[in-house]
Structure 1
Amino acid sequence: MGAADAVPGVSGGTIAFITGIYEELIHTIKQFGPSALGAWRRGGVAGLVAHLNLPFLLPLLLGIAVSLISVAHLAVWLLEDHPLLLNGFFFGLVLASALVVSRHPADWRWWHILPLIGGLLMANGLPSLMPLISELGSQEVMLLAGGAIAISAMILPGVSGSFLLLTMGLYGTVMDGIRGFDMELIGLFGMGCAVGLFAFSRLLSWLLDRYHTATLQLLVGFIVGSLPLLWPWRELVRYQLGPDGQMIPLDYRYLTPGDYALLTGDAPQLVAVVALMLAGAVAVLLLDRSGRRSAAVRDNGSSATGIQETSARGTGSQQASSREASSHSQETSSKETSSKDQQGGRL
């Protein structure tokens, strides 16, 4: 997820989605709030750890942080020197992701195509609105707003927070701040992320609880809608300059490898790009297979536990019945003996 979030055009939410941890992640993030204080008062540290699902969250956040910091250098280098190869890998990864997660659930209905189309339209329309953030003026306000928007996009499958930062004119600023450990910049951006994460995770959790299948189709639409942004052979046809003179992309023209070579004079690297597309797709299929196998193991474990509990309850019931029958037999025998003794006494 950290590596994906460092690359414009790719969403860490997509990685969470295809690895099967997306819904648990959203519901876990939602737990941060006033309810956490109540859990701490009721159960102490153990209650707080369970409430916040820290055994799940801490390893995930550690992996994201390490990957994001380490990949920040690599991502900038690849974007500058090998953009075709980088986009090729992630195009294959996201395309396979869309195919994997678009499987129709059991309760799918024809009208679920509407949120799917809505996701497609929003994924294509969001980037064109982002340059408005550069009109806020103050860089501090831009960093706060950019953090809130980017983190919300990062937890949406198919919507790249890094690409939205790029269209806001903030990508270079934020990546340079992370690489240089600029704590003031990281603090402002982090505050915006915290606000966006707190608010948006609650909205997503509410939608998943009440409109599960429709929300999943909306997320699939976001994933499919992000594919044009990752097409390797494209030409920037419209842009604007940000407040610091940086170029903010607004629109691309998508080309065939042959047209790309004619227009740019650069080699399309067709074989290498296609090979990396296949590598990205295979990675997703392996992750999906591993996730389904793990889910099956968990389900089998739950079933076995249920059978054992049922068996234990059945054995306990049999033992209790046996004890009751034995006790009843002893009481009956005792009463008969007492009755005979009384009769003998009278005689």
Structure 2
Amino acid sequence: MSKFHKIKEDLYNFSVGFCMGGANVIPGVSGGTMLFIMGAFSKLTGAIGTIASLETLKLLCKGKWKELYERIPWRFLFGLGVGILASFATLAKLFVWMLEKHQQFTFAFFFGLIIASIITVNRQIKKWTWGAIVSFLISTAAAFGVISLVPVDGGSQWYMLLLYGAICIIAMILPGLSGSFLLLIFGQYNRVWEAVGNLAHFDFNLQDISTVAFLGLGAVVGLGMFVHLLNYLIRKFYNATIAALIGFMVGAIPRLWPWQHELDGRFVYDAPVCNTGMIWTILCVFAGLILVLAIEFFATRKNKEQ
């Protein structure tokens, strides 16, 4: 691969990480969806599976650094990681502010994004078998059940943060599931993203550092344990697994309905009101749709060039 193509690949990996990180900030939106439509989902799960394998552990214990370096796609992971960190540094506080000040328009944009993502991921289904249909229905019901939960304060002890990290990282990497929404359910959304935003802007304090550290440790453990199961399911039950991912998106999409308000901890969905705000809301929906379809177009063209 030429130097130009390597730089081009690095920029693409950075953009994937940036989109993934930005999506993960919004409750109801999954960074895994962005991974999927940009063609990096299998590559990332494969890389994580390689890192969390016994073979890698053996090389590490034996000190075979050259073999270890050649085994793991460091360049891909580095570009992805830098993109994620960049999105957290630039978008975390912005999205939290947008949700507080312009929730309807923000939700409308991501509502359109998820609709387009469902269309895009559906193209990956080779055949809608009965197994795929059942898988779709079960995951749809499960996702809808999750978004119907009332947010509670699950506590912020270190062991609870480890648990939140393990659960939320799985949701963040799976298309359709939202780690940020689970943080909202656990009563930790504002605390976590404010901590991430503060650290990203070099505003250090012990509470923020401990919050991010324990969440990160839980995420590493949870992801390392889960990714092997996910890779197995995709390899052995491809259609049913992809159908389940689509079901997660379909079941979670009501959470992003633009016209809603909170009442006693529950989200109440309203009917659209015909006014100027409705026009802007619809435009935001189409903006989300167009963005995903554009990303899919360029990702498809990139894959054909390889």
Instruction: Indicate the TM-score class for this superposition, using the shorter chain for normalisation.
Output: 0.7 to 0.9
Paired AA for residue 25 in structure 1: L
Identity %, equivalent residues: 37
Corresponding residue for residue 309 of structure 1: none
Aligned equivalent of 2:270, options 255, 258, 268: 255
Paired AA for residue 199 in structure 1: M
**Equivalent runs, 1:82-231 vs 2, <5 Å:** 82-103=102-123, 105-128=125-148, 131=151, 134=154, 137=155, 139-181=157-199, 182-231=208-257
Please tell me whether the aligned partners of residues 133 and 145 of structure 1 are also in contact (alpha carbons under 8 angstroms): no
Shift of 1:81: 0.7
| Cα RMSD, aligned residues only | 2.2
SS in 2 for 1:8: coil
Aligned residues: 278
**Looking at both structures, which has the greater relative contact order when contacts are Cα pairs under 8 Å and sequence separation is at least 6?**
2
Question: Is it true that 1:10 corresponds to 2:36 in the alignment?
Answer: no
Q: Please give the alpha-carbon distance, in whole angstroms, between the structure 2 residues aligned to 1:189 and 1:70.
A: 20
Please tell me whether the aligned partners of residues 133 and 146 of structure 1 are also in contact (alpha carbons under 8 angstroms): no
1:192–1:117 distance in 2 versus 1, CA, 3 Å: same
Please tell me whether the aligned partners of residues 257 and 268 of structure 1 are also in contact (alpha carbons under 8 angstroms): no
Q: Which runs of 4+ in 1 moved over 3 A?
A: 37-46, 104-108, 127-133
Question: Is it true that 1:289 corresponds to 2:304 in the alignment?
Answer: no
Corresponding residue for residue 55 of structure 2: 35
Q: For each residue in 1:264-283, what CA deviation from the matched residue of structure 2 results, as whole angstroms up to 9, or x when unmatched? A: xxx77111111111111111
Please tell me whether the aligned partners of residues 166 and 223 of structure 2 are also in contact (alpha carbons under 8 angstroms): yes
**More displaced, 178-187 or 167-176?**
178-187
Q: Please give the alpha-carbon distance, in whole angstroms, between the structure 2 residues aligned to 1:113 and 1:43.
A: 48
Please tell me whether the aligned partners of residues 151 and 161 of structure 1 are also in contact (alpha carbons under 8 angstroms): yes
Structure 1 spans left out of the alignment, 5+ residues: 240-250, 262-266, 299-347
TM-score (norm 2): 0.84
1:111–1:197 distance in 2 versus 1, CA, 3 Å: closer
Shift of 1:232: 0.7
Corresponding residue for residue 9 of structure 2: none
Shift of 1:219: 0.5
Q: Please give the alpha-carbon distance, in whole angstroms, between the structure 2 residues aligned to 1:87 and 1:121.
A: 21
**More displaced, 80-89 or 289-298?**
289-298
Q: For each residue in 1:54-108, what CA deviation from the matched residue of structure 2 results, as whole angstroms up to 9, or x when unmatched? A: 1221101110111022211101110111111111111111100101111263344
Structure 2 spans left out of the alignment, 5+ residues: 1-19, 200-207
Corresponding residue for residue 259 of structure 2: 233
1:194–1:39 distance in 2 versus 1, CA, 3 Å: same
Corresponding residue for residue 40 of structure 2: 21
Return the index of the structure with the highest Cα Rg. Answer: 1
